Amino acid sequence: MRIDIITLFPEMCETVMGESIIGRARKKGTIDVECHQLRDYAFDKHKRVDDTTYGGGMGMLLMAEPIALCFEDICKKTESRPHLIYMSPQGETLTQKKLVELSQYENICILCGHYEGVDERVLDEYVDEQISIGDYVLTGGELPALVLADSLSRLAPGVLSDDECFEEESHYNGLLEYPQYTKPAVWRDRAVPDVLLSGHHANVEKWRREQMIIRTADKRPDMIEKADLTDKEKKFLEEYLKSKNEIMTDNENLSSL
């Protein structure tokens, strides 16, 4: 997988993408991440890539031509047309399902916006889709781009040591991750669940799956509604929610006394 990032702050992106798991994968050649300075495609000696907006209004806008030149240069270098994504609050919210879809592309290019955004014409001409990481405003598109690049890189073959490393993680299979513990077995009077010390792998897997269902139901009920559960797991969830509601009702009755 190759990821190209068009940005005004390539050093910032290089710093983040050069560390930890992603940094090691880049050194091994498992993934290729290239950060491109948009100002290198400016026209004047001041390296300006922004200008005022037609129609008035506050703020500046990134011009279309430098972005187009940069993207066209990337296409020449890769000898193909990358799937171009613009990080924008107007885009589809990033999810694990979306990441799995994007991981099928061999080459992704991410455009980082700044100021008031970019000229609409470059979006119409080159951008394949817009993606948001949430309903809030950031200074620029670098942080969203890095979130996308990092989470996407983890899905590339060979980046993680074992496929289970991401297949067991929160959101990958539509459920939140189960609780995890390390040594000591008892910490400040809090003990690790006995099942995890039993050595019985089938029971451990059953407990973990049930905990994933419980956690998702408690913390992300919107996700549990869409989760792919077996009939047995649906029954377990139904019984858990019934028991939870009974406990809440009992507590409310006690508090009213």
Q: Which of 102-111, 165-174, 211-220 has the lowest mean pLDDT?
A: 165-174
Over residues 159-184, mean pLDDT: 74
Over residues 88-98, mean pLDDT:
93
- Top-confidence residue, 170 or 58: 58
Residue 161 confidence (pLDDT): 76
Mean pLDDT of 208-222: 95
Residues 142-155 have a mean pLDDT of 97
User: What's the pLDDT at 44?
Assistant: 84
Q: Are 176 and 170 in contact (CB under 8 A)?
A: yes
pLDDT digit string (tens) for 8-59? 999 999 999 999 999 999 999 999 999 999 999 998 888 999 999 999 888 8
CA 152-177-182 angle, to 5 degrees, is 110
Read off the DSSP letter of residue 193: P
Averaged confidence pLDDT in the chain: 92
Q: What is the pLDDT of residue 45?
A: 84
Residue with more model confidence, 42 or 252: 42
b/e sequence 84-115, b meaning 16+ C-beta within 10 Å = bbbbbbebeebebebbeebbebebbbbbbbbb
Contact between residue 26 and residue 83 where contact means Cβ atoms under 8 Å apart: no
Residue 253's pLDDT band (cuts 50, 70, 90): confident
Peptide bond preceding 184 in cis form (omega within 30 of 0): yes
- Asked if residue 237 has pLDDT above 70, the reply is yes
CB 160 within 8 A of CB 21: yes
pLDDT band at residue 113 under the 50/70/90 scheme:
very high
172 confidence band (pLDDT: 50, 70, 90): low
Residue 164 pLDDT more than 50?
no
Q: Look at residue 150 and give its three-state secondary structure.
A: helix
Label residues 185-217 b or e (16+ Cβ within 10 Å = b).
Answer: eeeeeeebeeebeeeeeeebeebbbebbbbbbb
Q: Within its chain, how far is the Cα of 65 from the centroid?
A: 29
Cross-strand partners of 140: 114
CA–CA dist 128, 134 (Å, integer): 19
Q: Please report, as a single letter, which amino acid is at residue 239.
A: E
Instruction: Report whether pLDDT(223) > 60.
Output: yes
Q: Is the pLDDT of residue 163 over 60?
A: no
241: pLDDT strictly greater than 90? yes
CA dist., res. 78 & res. 72, Å (int): 10
